Amino acid sequence: MYDIIQAVSEERIQKDISTLVSFGTRHTLSDTVSATRGIGAARRWIKKEFEAISENCNNCLEVFYQKDLVKKGTGPRIVNDVWVVNVVAIQRGTTYPNKFIIMSGDIDSRVSDPNNYTSDSPGANDNASGMAGTIEASRVLSKYNFENSIMYVGLSGEEQGLFGGKGLAAYAKEQGWEILGIFNNDMIGNIKGVDGVVSNRDFRIFSEPVPPTETEEERRVRRFYGGEVDGISRQLARYVHKTTRDYMPEMNPMLIYRLDRFARGGHHRPFNDAGFAGIRIMEAHENYTQQHQDIRMENGIAYGDVLEHVNFAYAKKLTAVNAINLASIAWAPPPPVNVEIGGAVQPSVRLRWQPVEGAKGYKIYWRDTTSPTWDHSQYVGDVNEHTLDGIVIDNYLFGVASIGPDGHESVVVFPGSVFRD
């Protein structure tokens, strides 16, 4: 894990962000024919980069376009028929080729008018930073083998209404891919907030509390057994928080108990809509004069999302956060299934689950009901049930993770049902 952190290169991230900016605009509806300007040139360059990385690892990446035709008028920001084209690179897992952990950035950019597809729109931070981080993570991780598949993807159509994410989530369902989760990286390069705060350590992990796909019955049951803040995306967020704290103590990950920023959107959401775990990883201190802005001077303020405002050392840190979490999940066994809990009116708590292939054992986690993080744990070995003596179920929340032979842990699973015997 420390080797992975060390291997992430600030210089390469800087170079890739600069290259993405050099395409002038990467607006989803911009030129696709030019070799030097527009989203067509940008996506061809991204595909070439992934292919070059693949050549350096014995063709370890499967690189392809995934695309959907979005018809004019599908949304207020689709003013022409447009192919929304994502660039996908899959590093196939050795044991679980159909299970995927995904890192994404966005290809597209915009200026003040979301439908202006010709003006210069460098999108250096939003979101060349996330795109460059995703490419760099693939460079670093392609030197290793993993049990689970890792997918690196450049999504398009984000600014026009999250169309690339929608397309890829639907494609994932069609293909029967098991998505372990997606890390949506959207703006990972700004350290100077519009509020005056400057920090190259803080970053945010956004996650929704429970999936939007949950049933009325699941909602009813939750009222009695808990789980209001323990959906699959929230567990993924806690996982990233913990891994960062363990391996990158200089960073300050902030768990944000929200789907996304207030009234704003991002490309993890279409995956959440499809029932997959997904989080947004991003800077903590945004600068709104440098997002979605025409490049201009106004009242002494330089507006525009230009290269000069990106802190490459910070983008490198957040890329490393992604890389160690991709690796950790891709090396881990599958999470335990059918986790059940019992212990009403008892001085102990019982958990049981279905064992999974590849786990050398299991760890039970618990926490105070008001704590955002899994603060306590006990490794219980290769069993499929365990009783925690002396703990009253009412006062804590519980979960179970699988542990692999090398100590890599799955995401914690919150009990999905209750037993009484």
Which residue's CB is nearer to Zn ion, number 126 or number 260? 126
The whole-angstrom separation of Cα 272 and Cα 277 is 6
Give the shortest CB-160-to-Zn ion separation in angstroms.
10
> Quick check: bond before 185 cis, omega within 30?
no
User: Of the candidates 192, 39, 46, which has an alpha carbon nearest to the alpha carbon of residue 123?
Assistant: 39
Is the Cβ–Cβ distance between 208 and 313 less than 8 Å? no
Smallest separation, CB 151 to Zn ion (Å): 22
Per-position x/- string for 359-398, each x denoting binding to Zn ion as judged by CB under 5 A, each - no binding: ----------------------------------------
How far is CA 346 from each of CA 221, 339, 396, rounded to the nearest angstrom? Answer: 20, 19, 14
User: Is the Cβ of residue 26 or residue 316 nearer to Zn ion in the bound state?
Assistant: 26
155 vs 332 by CB, closer to Zn ion: 155
Distance of CA 71 to CAs 41, 80, 107, 219, Å? 22, 7, 20, 36
Judged by beta carbon, residue 126 or residue 409, the one nearer Zn ion is 126
Q: Which stretch binds Zn ion (CB under 5 A): 50-58, 125-133, 252-260, 324-332?
A: 125-133
Is residue 305 close enough to count as binding Zn ion by CB under 5 A?
A: no
Nearest to 159 by CA among 24, 28, 290: 28
- Build a one-symbol-per-residue string for 320-359: x at contacts with Zn ion by CB under 5 A, - elsewhere: ----------------------------------------
Binding segment (CB under 5 A) for Zn ion, from list 126-134, 191-199, 237-245, 276-284: 126-134
CB of 401 to Zn ion, least distance (A): 34
Contact 99, 93 (CB under 8 A): yes
**Stretches 49-57, 124-132, 177-185, 229-237: which one binds Zn ion (CB under 5 A)?**
124-132
* Residue closer to Zn ion, measured from CB, 49 or 126: 126
Q: How many residues bind Zn ion (CB under 5 A)?
A: 1
Rounded distance between C-alpha atoms, residue 167 and residue 87, angstroms: 12
Residue with smallest beta-carbon separation from Zn ion: 126
Per the CB < 8 A criterion, the answer to whether 158 and 106 are in contact is yes
Shortest Å, Cβ 159 to Zn ion: 5
- Residue 126 as a binder of Zn ion (CB under 5 A): the answer is yes
Q: Which amino acid is at 173?
A: K
Angle of helix 39-55 versus helix 10-21 axis, rounded to 10: 150
Contacting residues toward Zn ion, per CB under 5 A: 126
